[in-house]
Structure 1
Amino acid sequence: MIGKLTGKVDSTGDDWVMLDVGGVGYIAFCSSRTLSALPEEGEVTSLLIETHVREDHIHLFGFATQAEKEWYLILGTVQGVGAKVGLAILSAISPDELSVAIAAQDKTTLTRASGVGPKLAVRIVNELKDKIAKLSLGVSGQVVNTSSENKGNATPALAVSEDAVSALVNLGYRRSEAYSAVAKVSSEQGLDAPLEKLIKGGLSELMR
């Protein structure tokens, strides 16, 4: 099992790179994000590797960061998200954006990836939301979960945060954008900040 490769960049294609490791060329399939982070041909680089072994082939998938590799593995647990779609998602959406999009149940952001339609976006959110539904707001011991199904059981502070997110969404902002903006304002002003401040602060963040 190959976990990491370090070698010279020999050549690249639309979705792959060949690394020359001691005279042996290894082809690894990568997201466009990882490919864009590679150095020039002939220069040395390292990639984290996920090895797929099948009856008819052995494929290597390369990642520039641990976060990208972990997300690739997580996405692969969703029915309908194969290797190609997983890389397409990571090409279109960064790991940080992906975390926020799923926590905020922002299906529109997921459909930015090639091969991800509305139905698959819904499935990804539904199957993964429990794993990353809670995001730190930067306040020790406090987390937020803005899923609508949990709103009825939320504390007053978290319910206010969800109301602020909903208000910003109604103004035309994407849910993931609104979620991030409210999270930042909450971390700065405290989870007991009133709704009006969260909305105004969130707007200020979004308009920067």
Structure 2
Amino acid sequence: MIAKLTGLLDDTGPDWAIIDVNGVGYLVHCSARTLDRFGIRGDRVVVHTEMQVSETDQRLIGFGSAAERDWFRLLTAIQGVGSKVALAILSALTTDELQRACAGGDAAMVARANGVGPKLASRIVNELKDKAGALPNAAGIAVAAAPAGSASADAVSALQNLGFKPVVASAAVAQAIGELGDGAGLNDLVRVALKRAAG
């Protein structure tokens, strides 16, 4: 099982990217939002992945963050939501917007995604309402429990000083840690977390 790729962006298309990892090119299907985050050809990228295998197909789905992958797994567990629809939703909404839509029962927001009608949007919101709060909050608790003076705690504090709410700041820093690793420095954490919080 391939869970993460770190390599160079070799090529992109409307819904895919090729990531060159030590000379091996991996074709990864992605949301538009993830593709935008990758940058330009030759850039070093980190891609969280999910392998999908069916009788007729094998494909690697790529995400810009572990949080996006978690939402993809939740979405594809719902009847009528395949990988294409899940990626369309993740292209139209950030994970924070999706969380708010599900927690608040806002089916119209989910229905903005291509290929998602009102009926399916209602089903998604209803089925994920209870699970929606768990994802960002779980991430936030992990960061809030970080020792005072640690880079992650300082990064959360920095985002709060910039006007972000504690839950948003914690979730963004947790996403940044997921992308950069536990040993990431304060400046890198704040830079990536700012992008996630504002995205």
Q: TM-score range by the shorter chain?
A: 0.5 to 0.7
In the alignment, residue 48 of structure 1 is paired with which amino acid? H
1:56 deviation in Å?
2.5
Match of 1:47 in 2: 47
Query: Residue 38 of structure 2 aligns to a residue in which SS?
Result: coil
Match of 1:104 in 2: 104
Q: Show CA shifts across 1:32-85 (max 9, x none).
A: 000000121112111001001223322000001111010000011111110000
Query: Would the aligned equivalents of 1:104 and 1:133 in 2 still touch at CA under 8 Å?
Result: no
CA–CA distance in structure 2, aligned partners of residues 13 and 130 of structure 1: 35
In the alignment, residue 51 of structure 1 is paired with which amino acid? M
Aligned sequence identity (%): 51
1:133 deviation in Å?
5.5
* Residue 67 of structure 2 is aligned to residue 67 of structure 1: yes
The CA RMSD measured in Å over matched residues stands at 1.8
| Runs of 4+ residues over 3 Å off in structure 1 | 133-136
CA–CA distance in structure 2, aligned partners of residues 24 and 58 of structure 1: 17
- Between 1:114-123 and 1:51-60, the stretch displaced more is 51-60
Query: Residue 123 of structure 2 aligns to a residue in which SS?
Result: helix
Match of 1:180 in 2: none
* Residue 56 of structure 2 is aligned to residue 56 of structure 1: yes
CA–CA distance in structure 1, aligned partners of residues 98 and 48 of structure 2: 20
Which runs of 5 or more residues in structure 2 are unaligned? 138-164, 166-199
Q: How do 1:30-179 residues align onto structure 2 when only pairs under 5 Å count?
A: 30-132=30-132
Which runs of 5 or more residues in structure 1 are unaligned? 137-183, 185-208
In the alignment, residue 40 of structure 1 is paired with which amino acid? I
Give the number of the structure whose alpha-carbon radius of gyration is greater: 1
In the alignment, residue 78 of structure 1 is paired with which amino acid? I
Q: Show CA shifts across 1:100-130 (max 9, x none).
A: 1111101110111001110001111111112
In the alignment, residue 86 of structure 1 is paired with which amino acid? A
Aligned pair count reads 138
Query: Residue 26 of structure 2 aligns to a residue in which SS?
Result: strand
CA–CA distance in structure 2, aligned partners of residues 78 and 55 of structure 1: 20
CA–CA distance in structure 1, aligned partners of residues 75 and 109 of structure 2: 15
* Residue 12 of structure 2 is aligned to residue 9 of structure 1: no
CA–CA distance in structure 1, aligned partners of residues 60 and 133 of structure 2: 30
CA–CA distance in structure 2, aligned partners of residues 61 and 18 of structure 1: 11
TM (norm. structure 1) is: 0.63
Match of 2:18 in 1: 18
Match of 1:150 in 2: none
Query: Would the aligned equivalents of 1:111 and 1:121 in 2 still touch at CA under 8 Å?
Result: yes
CA–CA distance in structure 1, aligned partners of residues 85 and 57 of structure 2: 19
TM (norm. structure 2) is: 0.66
